[in-house]
Amino acid sequence: MPSLSASLVRGVVTSPFKRAGRDGATLPTVRLTLPAAPVAPGHLATYRRVCGFTEPGGTAGSGRAATGHPLPLTYPHVLAFPLAMRLMTGRAFPLPVVGLVHTWIEITRHRTARVDESLELLVHAAELTPHRRGTEVTMVTEARVAGALVWESRSGYLSRHAVPPRARTDADAGAEAGAGKGKGTGAEADARAGAGADVGAGAGADTGADSWSPAVRSSPPATGGGLPPVAEWRLPGDLGRRYGAASGDRNPIHLYPLTARLFGFPRAIAHGMWTVARCLAEAAEPELIRHVRADFRAPVLLPATVTYAADAAGGSFELRDGGGGRLHLTGTLVRDS
């Protein structure tokens, strides 16, 4: 299978020849598969450390007593990322991968996937749907153990392009009209571009000490509206490089201010999938979460101070900026009963 670097180069080369929104566009029917393989303990420990997951009986990303423990709910997404990139940069994929924006994700755990199990990973493109900002593709990822489905996700990726007014549905109009009612302003909705664009290249390991973890405060400041605050995190400017090393997603918008400015951002932005993983790591008993839906609302410009908030029952959560104004992410989750 081509490396992520090769996939990104191919995406850059082929994107100018693809036109999002063209009539009659179809998705490739191929299902890409990564044969069953054991999880690499070092890579998993790095991912846990960067995202804040704590192993039972250990510290965040300690790697101790790993055998038999559940994998973080978001981890199979990282393992399957090279497959998704290979599919989205292929000739048959109708949307240009450059500028493709990760807008939402749903993850379902059918049964607990353990660290000591070998996962077979499968990725396919499910559907193309009109969006008020362009065209959205739904990508499906599955993880199987001995042929049995144990985990799956569905992700929305938006390709922005001009949409004729007649093509905009009543639902789209309603969504725009209600954009400022409790779930972020219209400006925030527009800023979703780049909030979690999962397009990157390369692989590697994070060898440095993490600098965000000591910044958690037990009593975050009160904010107006929304869910009650639970924790406040100060995110360093190199967080995108750290998560990129752990996940393989080295999209330039996440790495340095200079590379981010090339794509219209004043500073590097945090990965959307990091924000989801960090929120789940903060939730009570994350190993019991069996379903999560997260919507990316606005990018997190690095460095940043953000507030994690959740309802008392733990079924809804959100990530806001430190002042409580801009909404970066909203989500809901379901636990085992």
Domain count, the chain: 1
216 lies in a domain? yes
- Listed range (103-107, 141-145, 187-191) with the worst mean pLDDT: 187-191
Whether residue 173 is contained in a domain is answered as no
Residue 93 maps to a domain: yes
**Is 175 a member of any domain?**
no
Q: With a cut of 50, say whether residue 304 has pLDDT above it.
A: yes
- The per-residue pLDDT for range 15-61, each reduced to its tens digit, is 554 555 566 678 989 999 999 999 999 999 999 999 999 875 555 54
Domain annotation covers residue 178: no
Whether pLDDT at 109 is above 50: yes
**Contact criterion met (CB below 8 Å) for 286 and 73:** yes
Q: 174 lies in a domain? A: no
Check: CB of residue 320 under 8 Å from CB of residue 220: no
* Owner of token pair 């008020």: 132
Q: Does residue 177 sit within a domain? A: no
Say if 80 falls within a structural domain: yes
Give the model's pLDDT for residue 133.
84
* Residue 299: CATH number of its domain: 3.10.129.10
Who's near 105: CB < 8 A, 6+ residues apart? Answer: 77, 153, 154, 155, 156, 272, 273, 276, 292, 293, 294
d(CA 332, CA 316): 4
Range of the domain at 82: 4-19+27-167+183-335
180 pLDDT more than 80? no
pLDDT band at residue 327 using 50, 70 and 90 as cut-offs: very high
pLDDT of residue 91: 87
